[in-house]
Amino acid sequence: MTESTTTSPPAGAAPDPELGAREAQRRDTQERRRQLLRRMLVRIIALVVFLGVWWLVTSLQLIKPLYLPSPASVWHAFVLSNTDHPIAPGVDRMVKGEQNYYLWEHLIASLQRIGVGVGWAIIFGPILGFAMASFKPIATIIEPYLNFLRALPPLGYIGILIVWFGIGDTSKMWLLFLAAFPPITIATINGVRGVREERINGALSLGASRFQTITHVVLPSTLPEVISGIRIAVGFAWTTVVAAELNNGIPGIGGLAYLSGTELKTPLTIACIIVIGIAAILLDLAIKGVEKVLVPWRGKA
């Protein structure tokens, strides 16, 4: 607050237009920073209030710890799952994290599966999307199957994938791939179909070849849509990861969340859920960042 008073222009200063513009810009960024700070503050207060209510409810024992463990016990479960610890107080035997893996290793194992499944979707999805948008017969044939696949619940067909590809990582990656590629394909189709005709004609009339219109007009115009599709696909992969890891899902954060649930270890389940949520948000922010770098023309062209 004191800062704003010191940087405000002194009264009666000469009205230099360039200086005024710079001043306005500075004030603008300052205002934006203040807004950001205020937003952060509101969020932090909301989080503290939420944790306080959680703590109060559990410490008053209004709800049994099995259904809602205290924040402290969730934190304890989180710490234990990331360290070597004795299996019980007073016992010498040490174990590693949970199920012989640290929690972060469970997370990385899931990220690897998502990386491979979504990675293949990022390669295959746009290719199929371009093919479907460019050649009518392909779209006519494939579109119903794409919509069919899109509507299927992952839990419904994981059993078939296990019979086909075994209980190992292959079936899990297939599931994540099948969940991730339809949104990317559909986003690509929408992107290609959304390219305005006059732009292509404009490029053609300026002497561009057919191929050049694709590489210089269609592809750049489609890229923002493709990246949006990828963001949706990654979100979808997260929601699918527990289904993928129901069988033989250790190591895996989804598998651990499910397993701890069946063993009534609720604090660990909640710790897993929080970790999944935070990881998903961070990954989404990362893709947003990549989008800013790769397609700075988004919304401007």
Partner 1 sequence: MINAHRLTVRVLAAAVAVVGATALSGCVESNRPAEDAAGGSECPFEADPSVTSTVRIAYQNIPNGDLVVKDQKMLETCMPNAKITWNKFDSGGDVIQAFGSNSADIGLIGSSPATKALSAPLNIPMKVIWVHDVIGKAESLAVKDEAVTDIKQLKGKTIAVAFSSTAHYSLLQALQDAGMNPAADVKIVNLSPDKMPSAWEGGQIDAAWVWDPTLSELLGSGGHILVSSEDTAKAGKPTYDLGAATTSFIDANPAFMTAWAKAQNAAVQEINDKPDDASVSIGAVMGISPDDVKKQFAGYEYLPAKDQASADYLGGKMATDLEATAGFLLEQGGITAVSPPAVYAGGVDAKPAEAAAQ
Per CB under 8 A, residues contacting partner 1 are 64, 66-67, 84, 87-89, 91, 93-96, 98-101, 105-106, 108-109, 111-112, 115-116, 119-120, 122-123, 159, 162-164, 166-169, 215-216, 219-220, 223, 226, 246-248, 250-251, 259, 261-265, 294-295
Measured from the CB atom, is 52 or 289 closer to partner 1? Answer: 289
Measured from the CB atom, is 37 or 57 closer to partner 1? Answer: 57
Least Å from the CB of residue 3 to partner 1: 40
Three-state SS for the chain is CHHHHHHCCCCCCCCCHHHHHHHHHHHHHHHHHHHHHHHHHHHHHHHHHHHHHHHHHHHCCCCCCCCCCCHHHHHHHHHHCCCEEECCCCCCCEEECECCECHHHHHHHHHHHHHHHHHHHHHHHHHHHHHHHHCHHHHHHHHHHHHHHHHCCHHHHHHHHHHHHCCCHHHHHHHHHHHHHHHHHHHHHHHHHCCCHHHHHHHHHCCCCHHHHHHHHHHHHHHHHHHHHHHHHHHHHHHHHHHHCCCCCCCCHHHHHHHHHHCCCHHHHHHHHHHHHHHHHHHHHHHHHHHHHHCCCCCCC
Least Å from the CB of residue 165 to partner 1: 8
Measured from the CB atom, is 231 or 265 closer to partner 1? Answer: 265
Measured from the CB atom, is 219 or 280 closer to partner 1? Answer: 219
Least Å from the CB of residue 28 to partner 1: 30
Measured from the CB atom, is 183 or 251 closer to partner 1? Answer: 251
Measured from the CB atom, is 146 or 161 closer to partner 1? Answer: 161
Least Å from the CB of residue 40 to partner 1: 31
Least Å from the CB of residue 163 to partner 1: 5
Least Å from the CB of residue 237 to partner 1: 13
